[in-house]
Structure 1
Amino acid sequence: MSEAVLSRRNALLLLGVVVLAWGFTWVVNKLLLQHMTPIWAAAARSIAGTAALLVLGLALRRVAWPVKADIPVILSVGLLHMGAFAALVSLGLRYVPAGRSVVLAYTTPLWVIPAAWLFLGESIGRGRQAGLALGMLGLIVIFNPFTFDWRDREALAGNGLILLAALCWAANIVYVRAHRWATPPFELAFWQALLASAVLSAVAFAAEGAPVVAWNADLAWLLGYGGIFGIAVAYWAAVTVNRALPAGVTSIGLLGVPVFGLLCSAVVLHEPVSTSLLAGMALIVGGIAAGVIERRA
Structure 2
Amino acid sequence: MTKQRNSNQSIVNNKGLVWGGILTITILWGYAWVLMKASLEYMGPLTFSSFRFGIGAITLLLICWLFKLGLPQKRYWKPLFIIGTLQTAVVFLLVMFALMFVGAGKSSVLLYSMPMWSSLLAVKFLDEKLTPLKTTGLIIGMIGLLTILGWDIFTGQNAEVIFGELLIIIAAISWAISNIYYRLKVQELPKIQASAFQMLFGAVGIFIVTLIMESGHSIEINFHSIYYILFTGVLASAFCFTVWFMIMSVVDMVTATISTLLVPIFGLLFSSLLLKEQLTIGVIIGSSLILIGIIVAQMKQPRVKY
* Stretches of structure 2 lacking an aligned partner (at least 5 in a row): 1-9
Q: 1:45 aligns with which of 52, 55, 59?
A: 52
Pairing 1:80–2:94 present: no
Contact 2:84 2:202 in 1 (8 A): yes
Query: Structure 2-normalised TM-score?
Result: 0.81
Matches within 5 A, 1:81-120: 81-120=87-126
Q: Pick one of 21, 36, 41 that aligns with 1:29.
A: 36
Aligned partners of 2:157, 2:267: CA distance in 1, in Å?
Answer: 28
Identity percentage of aligned residues: 26
Give the AA of the match of 1:264: F
What's the counterpart of residue 168 of structure 1? 174
CA offset digits 1:95-135 (Å, max 9, x no partner): 22111222221221111122223334433332233234324
Q: Give, in whole Å, the separation in 2 of the partners of 1:174 and 1:34.
A: 35
TM superposition shift of 1:233: 2.5
Q: Residues of 1 paired with 2:217 and 2:22: CA distance? A: 35
- 2:65 is matched with 58
Correspondence 1:108-257 to 2 at 5 A: 108-145=114-151, 149-179=155-185, 181-238=187-244, 254-257=260-263
The CA distance in 2 between the partners of 1:211 and 1:18, in whole Å, is: 32
Is 2:283 aligned against 1:280? no
Indicate which of 14, 27, 30 corresponds to 1:20. Answer: 27
Residue deviations 1:225-268, cap 9 Å, x none? 1111111222344456678x766886676543332222111111
TM-score, structure 1 length as denominator?
0.83
Q: State the superposition RMSD in angstroms.
A: 3.2
**What is the aligned length?**
290
Q: Is the 8 A contact 1:135 1:284 kept in 2?
A: yes
Pair 21,93 (structure 1): closer, same or farther in 2 beyond 3 Å: same
1:46 maps to a residue whose letter is: F
Matched, 1:268 2:284: no
- Whether contact under 8 Å (1:138, 1:281) holds in the other structure is yes
Within 2, Cα distance between the matches of 1:41 and 1:287? 34
Whether the 8 Å CA contact 1:12–1:241 is kept in 2: the answer is no
